[in-house]
């Protein structure tokens, strides 16, 4: 495995992208354990900073992210997960977490 650069909390950002459409679905944080589980199961696992625990995407909602490929950026400090989503990626029910414009006041 490449020498990944985790931050001082032991985390690395993971951007999830639809493998077919190229749409960015979400961003979450991974630690070494969630990355290992993701690689072993081909389903996305993350580290929840708010709950302080591992999080298997879809375990509660049924909206899993099946991981086809994991890419590492040139600085080895960000991951890109190419995924197939079985439902909405966002907890709001939106397909992607990126549906609001910065200047949107609604």
pLDDT, tens only, 44-86? 999 999 999 999 999 999 999 999 999 999 999 999 999 999 9
pTM: 0.92
- The token pair that represents 85 in the structure block: 């989503």
DSSP count for the chain of H helices, then E strands: 1, 6
User: In percent, how much of the chain has pLDDT > 70?
Assistant: 97
> What are residue 57's DSSP bridge partners?
none
pLDDT at 103: 87
User: What are the tens digits of pLDDT across the range 15-28?
Assistant: 999 999 999 999 99
Mean of all residue pLDDT scores within the chain: 95
In this predicted structure, the answer to whether residue 105 has a pLDDT above a threshold of 70 is: no
Q: Which of 57, 73, 56 is nearest to 25 (CA)?
A: 57
pLDDT for position 1 = 54
Classify residue 79 as exposed, middle or buried by CB count within 10 Å of its CB (0-12, 13-18, 19+).
Answer: buried
Asked whether the predicted pLDDT for residue 106 surpasses 60, the reply is no
């Amino acid at each position: 495995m490449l020498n990944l650069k985790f931050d001082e909390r032991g985390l690395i950002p993971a951007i999830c992208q639809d493998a077919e459409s190229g749409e960015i679905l979400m961003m979450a944080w991974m630690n070494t354990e969630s990355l290992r589980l993701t690689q072993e199961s081909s389903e996305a696992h993350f580290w929840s900073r708010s709950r302080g625990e591992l999080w298997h995407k879809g375990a509660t909602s049924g909206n899993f992210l099946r991981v086809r490929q994991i890419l590492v950026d040139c600085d080895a400090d960000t991951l890109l997960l190419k995924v197939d989503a079985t439902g909405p990626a966002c907890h709001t029910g939106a397909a992607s977490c990126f549906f609001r414009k910065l200047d949107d006041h609604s």
